[in-house]
Amino acid sequence: MSMTRKFNSSLLLWLCASAFFLSAVAARSESGDMKLHAQLIWGTNEPKSPDPKHKLVGKELEKKLKNSPFKWEYYFEVSDEKFNLPLQKEKTVNMSKDCAIAVRNLGGSVVEFRLFGKGKLVNKITQPLPKGQILVEGGNADNATAWFVVLKSIDD
Amino acid sequence: MNTEQQLKLQAFLDGELPEREARDVAAWLAQDKDATALLMELRNTRQALGGFEPEIRLPETREFYWSKIQREIQRLEPATPKKEAVPFSFWFWRLLIPAGAAALLAIAGLFAFLKLNPSSNPGAEMATMLADANPVTYRDQAEGMTVVWLSYPAEKEFTANSSGGRLP
């Protein structure tokens, strides 16, 4: 009988410790800030951008975009900004003269992403954005080119 | 003298032969010295062995003697312990503690799973504010990418960069 009690006590201890650990990990995730990277990208089939400040996007992002239905030969980064976003906080980023985004950290890696054009709200999307995944909004631009706003959750 | 004859002498000595055969053996012994010598030897042996058999007399009857032994054996056997009545609380706690702990772990695991696995969260919600945006959503799970393609702005608005011109 004493063996049974001892076993039960040990089992209970381990289970409680495991539950505490899982809860702690979950709580840490819940309370964590997000570090985000927003990019305004121009997609074109021309190998050179008229603006020398533009640089080609990274290979990883290029590969992702080229694997999508929205294919262009070259993707130039027009502007970008990395920022921290605490839980339940919102950050507005001006990507260009007429393009701005507002991002809110809803917790659990879920973001609310709003896109503004000339100060008007164009689109709002709420979705999980764990590290490594990207959220892209895009549209047509002049001369069969395209614009993209890319939001990515990155490591600290 | 063969074995059968020796056995017959033994039976004669023990008085096991029928009367007629006993007479024949007696006649045979009167004529055969070897047979007589063997008979004497057998008789001496029986007497010698018989003298050494201890005769033990029990002070009581056989049945009473063995019943005493039986009672003594029963007395020396360990008594089977009676099963103690197990209280209900013992079973209650014995089952409740592991069950409660397992439930606690399951709840914590579910909680952690929901928080750590964003894909288990409710799916993406999208609201388009401008009527002519006409969004088309493309998801690539393998690449971890969601693309929302908007027909807005019609050509020129987003492509205006910070210096006032259009992209690039």
Instruction: Please give the ipTM for the structure prediction.
Output: 0.78
Q: What is the pLDDT of residues B34-87, one digit of tens each?
A: 999 999 999 898 888 877 766 777 778 888 889 989 999 988 887 666 677 777
Phi, psi torsion values for A84, nearest 5 degrees: -90, 145
Please report the residues numbered 14 through 53 in chain A whose beta carbons come closer than 8 angstroms to any beta carbon of chain B: 15-16, 18-20, 22-23, 25-26, 29-30, 42, 44, 49-51
Determine contact, residues A97/B165, Cβ cutoff 8 Å: no
Supply the Cα-derived Rg of chain A in whole angstroms: 22
Residue B149 in 3-state DSSP?
Answer: strand
Partner-chain residue, chosen from B124, B125, B168, that has the shortest CB–CB distance to A76? B168
**Which tokens hold the place of B54?**
């201890």
Phi, psi torsion values for B128, nearest 5 degrees: -100, 125
Nearest CA in chain B to A143: B155
Q: Which of A21-25, A141-145, B121-125, B138-142 has the lowest mean pLDDT?
A: B121-125
Cα–Cα dist B40/B31, whole Å: 15
Q: What is the pLDDT of residues A73-129, one digit of tens each?
A: 999 999 999 999 999 999 999 999 888 999 999 988 899 999 998 888 888 899 899
Q: What pTM did the predictor assign?
A: 0.53
Please say if the pLDDT value at position A49 is more than 60.
yes
Contacts of B114 in chain A (CB under 8 A): 26, 108
Distance between B82 CA and the closest CA of chain A, angstroms: 16
Please say if the pLDDT value at position A156 is more than 70.
no
A117/B98 touch (CB, cutoff 8 Å), yes or no: no
Q: What is the pLDDT of residues B96-137, one digit of tens each?
A: 888 888 898 899 888 777 666 554 445 667 666 665 667 888
**Which tokens hold the place of B28?**
């045979």
CB half-sphere exposure, B61, CA atoms < 13 A: 3
Cα–Cα dist B154/B100, whole Å: 61
Phi, psi torsion values for A142, nearest 5 degrees: -60, 150
Question: A81: which strand partners?
Answer: A38
